[in-house]
């Protein structure tokens, strides 16, 4: 039996099918077709697509696909559970682990195929063993449904995450403004906004993060601050002391959800110096920089 000459992309496609689904196709030229070969589909060129394993019935072929899928899932779990050994601390409490959580974790983790994501799931398991309840099932479900593109987007958001004052929740600061009075209501200097798209996070991408459930959709406002009041801005573990220069100054931001906060702990963030410089520079009309503390938190 002679195969038709295949374009390289078709060859790769057939190999992908075999690897991921156990379905094996062969493309046969018209002159090599006979009544013993069952054609599944005929392509525009006149070539026929047939099954390589024609001796197997549909049920048997389905069993092969299921066996391949279960084998790959088992391999995924073995990789994740073995990786977790690298991260498990001596303070792990095996007697406190929620077995329902463990079973749900296993059910989701078995479908994690990329090495990068497998490492994240291994870290989750190790943290959960030390701090039961650190990761909710909702967070696991969200992580399992993240595409590679969405994961990169979340990584960008984490690199812009700040904290304000004693509030431990993470935020993406978007601007500051002075509550308008009758005299200043039309003044453009009452509001300063940060163009987040300059730092890889457009408004559309913020909405995408909100739809995934990692940040809240609505922009939030802080409590108005009084003149001479101090604000502690924490960015990537470093404190920056700011002094309010006018009355009724409000900070606007997008806040991470509980799921976002939980997954944020898994990301090795990097300080975006341009973003920090932009924050401190743009806000100087309303917030005076008193200094930066070297302490890491």
- pLDDT single digits (tens) 251-270: 999 999 999 999 998 887 77
Choose among 157, 145, 122: nearest CA to 260. 157
The residue from 145, 176, 203 where one domain ends is: 145
Enter the tokens of residue 196.
């987040």
- Note whether residue 207 is domain-resident: yes
Instruction: Report strand pairing: 39-42 vs 48-51.
Output: antiparallel
Band of residue 233 on the pLDDT scale cut at 50, 70, 90: confident
pLDDT for 3 equals 46
Both 179 and 275 in one domain: the answer is: yes
Both 165 and 87 in one domain: the answer is: no
Both 222 and 86 in one domain: the answer is: no
- Note whether residue 122 is domain-resident: yes
- Indicate the range of 45-54, 126-135, 201-210 predicted with least confidence: 45-54
Both 246 and 190 in one domain: the answer is: yes
pLDDT for 281 equals 85
Both 219 and 154 in one domain: the answer is: yes
* 127-167 tens-digit pLDDT: 999 888 999 999 999 999 998 889 889 999 999 999 988 88
Whether the pLDDT of residue 180 is over 90: the answer is no
pLDDT for 181 equals 59
Whether the pLDDT of residue 66 is over 70: the answer is yes
DSSP notation for 105-166: HHHHHTT--SHHHHHHHHHHHHHHHHSTTSS-HHHHHHHHH--HHHHHHHHHHHTT-EEETT
- 99 phi/psi in degrees, rounded to 5: -65, -35
Both 155 and 132 in one domain: the answer is: no
pLDDT for 183 equals 52
- Note whether residue 123 is domain-resident: yes
- Note whether residue 216 is domain-resident: yes
- Indicate the range of 6-10, 172-176, 196-200 predicted with least confidence: 6-10
Both 288 and 161 in one domain: the answer is: yes
Both 179 and 264 in one domain: the answer is: yes
pLDDT for 96 equals 80
pLDDT for 295 equals 43
Band of residue 294 on the pLDDT scale cut at 50, 70, 90: very low
- Indicate the range of 15-24, 116-125, 168-177, 205-214 predicted with least confidence: 15-24
- Note whether residue 1 is domain-resident: no
Q: How many domains does the chain have?
A: 3
Run of H or E including 41: strand 39-42
If you average pLDDT over residues 110-115, what whole number do you get? 93
- Note whether residue 66 is domain-resident: no
Both 292 and 162 in one domain: the answer is: yes
The residue from 119, 145, 171 where one domain ends is: 145
Higher-confidence residue: 136 or 95?
Answer: 136
The residue from 116, 145, 174 where one domain ends is: 145
Whether the pLDDT of residue 1 is over 50: the answer is no
- Note whether residue 260 is domain-resident: yes
Both 157 and 35 in one domain: the answer is: no
Whether the pLDDT of residue 62 is over 60: the answer is yes
Whether the pLDDT of residue 81 is over 50: the answer is yes
Both 19 and 87 in one domain: the answer is: no
Look up the domain containing 103 and give its range: 71-145
Both 207 and 287 in one domain: the answer is: yes
Q: Among residues of the chain, what percentage have pLDDT more than 70?
A: 92
If you average pLDDT over residues 32-37, what whole number do you get? 81
Mean pLDDT of the chain: 86
If you average pLDDT over residues 85-108, what whole number do you get? 88
- Note whether residue 61 is domain-resident: no
Whether the pLDDT of residue 106 is over 60: the answer is yes
Contact at 8 Å (CB) between 278 and 200? Answer: no
């Amino acid at each position: 039996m002679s195969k038709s000459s295949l374009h390289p992309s078709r060859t790769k496609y057939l190999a992908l099918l075999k690897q991921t689904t156990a379905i094996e196709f062969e493309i046969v030229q018209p002159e090599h077709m006979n009544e013993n070969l069952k054609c599944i589909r005929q392509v525009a060129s006149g070539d026929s697509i047939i099954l390589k394993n024609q001796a197997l019935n549909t049920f048997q072929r389905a069993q092969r696909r299921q066996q391949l899928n279960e084998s790959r899932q088992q391999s995924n779990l073995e990789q994740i559970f073995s990786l977790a050994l690298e991260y498990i601390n001596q303070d792990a409490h095996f007697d406190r682990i929620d077995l329902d959580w463990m079973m749900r974790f296993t059910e989701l983790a078995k479908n994690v195929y990329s090495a990068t994501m497998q490492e994240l799931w291994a870290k989750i398991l190790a943290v959960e063993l030390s701090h039961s309840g650190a990761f909710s099932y909702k967070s696991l479900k969200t992580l399992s449904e993240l595409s590679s593109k969405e994961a990169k987007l979340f990584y960008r958001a984490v690199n812009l995450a700040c904290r304000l004052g004693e509030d431990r929740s993470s935020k993406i600061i978007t601007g500051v403004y002075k509550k308008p009075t009758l005299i200043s209501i039309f003044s453009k200097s009452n509001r300063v906004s940060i163009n987040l798209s300059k730092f890889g996070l457009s408004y559309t991408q913020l909405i995408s993060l909100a739809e995934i459930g990692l940040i809240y959709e609505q922009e939030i406002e802080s409590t108005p601050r009084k003149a001479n009041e101090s604000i502690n801005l924490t960015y990537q573990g470093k404190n920056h002391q700011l002094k309010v220069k006018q009355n009724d100054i409000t900070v606007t931001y997008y806040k991470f959800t509980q799921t976002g906060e939980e997954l944020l702990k898994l990301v090795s963030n990097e300080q975006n110096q341009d973003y920090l410089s932009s924050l401190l520079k743009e806000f100087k009309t309303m917030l005076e920089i008193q200094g930066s503390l070297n302490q890491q938190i």
